Structure 1
Amino acid sequence: MEPRLTSFGKAPTYVDVFAGCGGLSLGLHRAGWRGLFAVEKDAFAFETLSTNFLTSDAKYPFDWPVWLPKRPTTVEDLLRDHAQELAQLRGKVDMLAGGPPCQGFSSAGRRMADDPRNSLVERYLELVEILQPTILLLENVRGFTLDFQARTGGGGKRRENAAAQLMRRLSKNYEVETDILRASDFGVPQNRPRFILVAVRRGSGAASGALNDLRFTAALVAQQHGIGLVNSAGEAISDLELSRNETVPCPDTVGFEAVGYRGPLTPFQHAMRDGYDAPPSDTRLARHTHAVRERFADIIETCRAEGRGSRQLSAEMRERLGIRKLTTRVLDPNLPAPTVTSMPDDLLHYREPRTLTVRENARLQTFPDWFRFCGKYTTGGHLRRIEVPRFTQVANAVPPLLAEILGTRIKQHCLGAIRPKLEAG
């Protein structure tokens, strides 16, 4: 097969599936990729995606095809309603990016082999077969690599993990490599382990081995942003402390206050400002009661006294403080934050008796301050399984900085091997 680069002479192209609010897309655009379109079914997440990528003044616009409506859709609907158009894209997409929803695989929740969200891996493979992209980039939680346990008392067999199944099925046509990357090793101020898969289509002329020497690329990308490879929670969000800023009426929610903004303090914060002059959005503060604030203050002081910053509370501490929740953690300003989750009360501020704002979580994920989130802030009850509000959008996203590093490495290493051959021909 002749080597190919579908967008030779232009930026390489990608399609983002299960795109969420666009963290992966943002990083790939910054790395010099050209987005064709993205697939996301949740209305809130798609509104965020649309606000940041599909407007006439978008900083990083998609080259959206006329045949695909700009609205929320599922991969199933895409395959059913646009089979002919997708078939015409075969061999014309450099990379298929994105990972199936992680909730059914996550060790932070109830891992179920029969979770319907796990079946989206099958739809992903169908799309791979139709498009036959040169490169695959997939991100998921570390639980993606863990086998499913047999049901207790049911006599069932242990089931192979999703990563092993996917790698086996892809290996017929792709050279596959995987790794567990910790985001805090790549400039992200958050200790977030993630499963990464990069696959190169056999016979395409692209080089494999993109995950080798990734930290060298990371250092170069971080240097371009004026930051180091290790950043702490304090370096990320200290400029958003209430002790430094006045509170203002929340511009998008009546009855709430938000954090005013005086400007950045650290190189990381300057990088997140990214030339943005206005106050950042999504700084709405939770309305904690006086009793809750006192309780949070007690937790923060206890953790500080026992040196347990960014670690889960011990059983003894939870009993003494009357806390049933097992996942409560207090940030340490001198260390990367724990993994950001969709539950706003999982993380407490390192100094102020409150939970974090959406913007503070977004900073820990390396979203720039101009990036706006849309939809509800939170949800609950049965809606938690079907809605993706702002806190969840941020938590589910690929950190844009990590995505930029991966995109830069793949473009230079994998596709860079094709260009000399094409130029010579």
Structure 2
Amino acid sequence: MTGATSASSVKRRKVGSAGPTFIDVFAGCGGLSLGLMQAGWRGLFAIEQNKDAFETLSFNLAREDSRCSFDWPRWLPKEPISVDACLRDYQSQLVKLAGKIDMLVGGPPCQGFSSAGRRDPADPRNKLVRSYLKLVKILQPRLVLMENVRGITASFADPTAASGKRNYADWIIDALSDEYVVHSRMLDTSAFGVPQKRHRYFVVAIRKNQPASLRELDPFSAIDNDRHSFLYGKGISVAPVSAKIAISDLELKTNGSLPSRDTMGFEDIDYSRPRTTYQRLMNSGCVGAPSSTRLPRHAREIAARFKKIISLCKAEGRLNISLSPEARASFGLRKCALRVLDPDAPSPTITSMPDDLLHYNEPRTLTVRETARLQSFPDWFEFKGKYTTGGKRRRVDVPRYTQVANAVPPLAAEAIGLSLKTHLLIKPLISRLASAQRTIPRKAPDASTSSRANPSSLR
């Protein structure tokens, strides 16, 4: 049609299609990458070896029509790959990127460090930190951003260490300190509008060949100072976002259910609309109903037990707190981690076990979408793969619940990414440009030019 352009023919500008560059290692389903792209960073590629997690990341962040998309290089296939395999098979391509990457990010697997696990120094996944540091050595990025569980800061028995103890946080800092100024801090993601009390250990390392003003900046002070303006810009109250504010629009009693769109024999929440500012923020850009709203299929007696547990926890004021030993015994439960959500507070840390947390009103565990909301994933972000797994497969499978639980909350990643971009990259660049402008000598105008420019000088 002449003079008109169809909406479908207009290519939408991708979030993160310009700006400073990053590579995400141990990327999982892409929570950290998503937040950085939303903060204006340009992702080059991601390294993730699990096929389910990579399928989710690739579907949301590596397609041409994605809302946010990596500028994936032609030399690297868009497929699951381990860090060691990438170092082995693509070393020459990685060497060519040396000094050209603004930031290397990632969270090496944490199971060997986690206080929720066995904290095993011999866990082979702990050694992946060394692979991450090898990549730092090759790429020589200006910044390094690492995230991990609180347990990585705790010393624990390790017969292979000279002292008999191992502290991986100290070891990482020492390994980076030759070439980087290293800062570290424990952060609670609920401070950034994430409706979840999730304490994680962050490292920000600044390469020593950067200007002194950059090396001397404390990035975590900058992140603290920017936090309130970030929340204000998102329309989120400075007070923590509660579980009810985050997921009340996903309650079954107000939506009803319909046959599941992706799993025969199950039902999905029949979603209607967002009701709070946070819900509207998460639902923005989502066309139709959010995915992964499949309801758990509890037996009638299990649902009845959950209803009693919810009532008991409310009566005893034990919301967000594990059941007492006496209560567990009365219900015949062995599980220690079971908790009931407090509707008026951020949730406790989301785990990969869907039966660790009960809804605050409804006698059921949470859907994947509800856990994703508590992790601040937007509703348009779709999770791929099976929903759950069990037995020995838990060591190798990364189903949807686990993908969500293992991710860096995108909202926190966005806040951190904005501060790092502003204070460590943009402001120093503006300062250098202004300094260069001041040092450019100005030419004195010659007499002829001066006379022509100012006729009164001829008089």
TM range (shorter): over 0.9
User: Which letter does structure 2 place at the counterpart of 1:184?
Assistant: S
Offset, 1:312: 1.2
Per-residue Cα deviation, 1:381-422 (whole angstroms, up to 9, x for no partner): 111111111000000000000100110111111113430354
Match of 2:198 in 1: 192
Aligned mates of 2:432, 2:40 — CA distance in 1: 20
TM-score by length of 2: 0.88
Correspondences of 1:105-120 after superposition (within 5 Å): 105-120=113-128
Match of 2:187 in 1: 181
Identity of aligned residues (%): 53
| Residue of 216, 230, 233 corresponding to 1:224 | 233
Structure 1 residue 127 and structure 2 residue 112: aligned? no
| Residue of 55, 73, 86 corresponding to 2:81 | 73
| Residue of 104, 110, 113 corresponding to 1:102 | 110
Unaligned residue ranges in structure 1 (runs of 5+): 1-8
Which has the bigger relative contact order, CA under 8 A and spacing at least 6?
1
Report the structure number with the largest CA radius of gyration.
Answer: 2
| Residue of 142, 149, 153 corresponding to 1:145 | 153
Match of 1:44 in 2: 52
Aligned mates of 1:56, 1:203 — CA distance in 2: 36
Offset, 1:224: 2.0
**Range that drifts further, 273-282 or 285-294:** 273-282
Aligned mates of 1:15, 1:56 — CA distance in 2: 18
Per-residue Cα deviation, 1:252-308 (whole angstroms, up to 9, x for no partner): 111110101110111110110123231100000111000100110011000000011
Unaligned residue ranges in structure 2 (runs of 5+): 1-16, 437-459
Secondary structure, in 3 states, of the residue corresponding to 2:37? helix
User: Which letter does structure 1 place at the counterpart of 2:232?
Assistant: Q
Match of 2:373 in 1: 363
Offset, 1:37: 0.3
CA RMSD of aligned residues (A): 1.6
Alpha-carbon distance change, 311 to 279 in structure 1, aligned in 2, over 3 angstroms: same
User: Which letter does structure 2 place at the counterpart of 1:111?
Assistant: R
Aligned mates of 1:213, 1:334 — CA distance in 2: 29
Secondary structure, in 3 states, of the residue corresponding to 1:104? coil
Aligned mates of 2:285, 2:61 — CA distance in 1: 18
Query: Contact conserved, 1:227 with 1:271, CA < 8 A, in 2?
Result: no
| Residue of 214, 221, 229 corresponding to 1:212 | 221
Secondary structure, in 3 states, of the residue corresponding to 2:253? coil
Secondary structure, in 3 states, of the residue corresponding to 1:316? helix
Per-residue Cα deviation, 1:319-353 (whole angstroms, up to 9, x for no partner): 12221101000001001001000000000000000
Offset, 1:213: 4.1
Aligned mates of 1:313, 1:373 — CA distance in 2: 31
**Range that drifts further, 348-357 or 200-209:** 200-209
Aligned mates of 2:176, 2:253 — CA distance in 1: 53
| Residue of 61, 67, 75 corresponding to 1:59 | 67
Match of 1:17 in 2: 25
| Residue of 301, 306, 327 corresponding to 2:337 | 327
Equivalences, count: 415
Query: Contact conserved, 1:37 with 1:64, CA < 8 A, in 2?
Result: yes
TM-score by length of 1: 0.95
Query: Contact conserved, 1:16 with 1:37, CA < 8 A, in 2?
Result: yes
Query: Contact conserved, 1:247 with 1:257, CA < 8 A, in 2?
Result: yes
Aligned mates of 1:293, 1:113 — CA distance in 2: 39
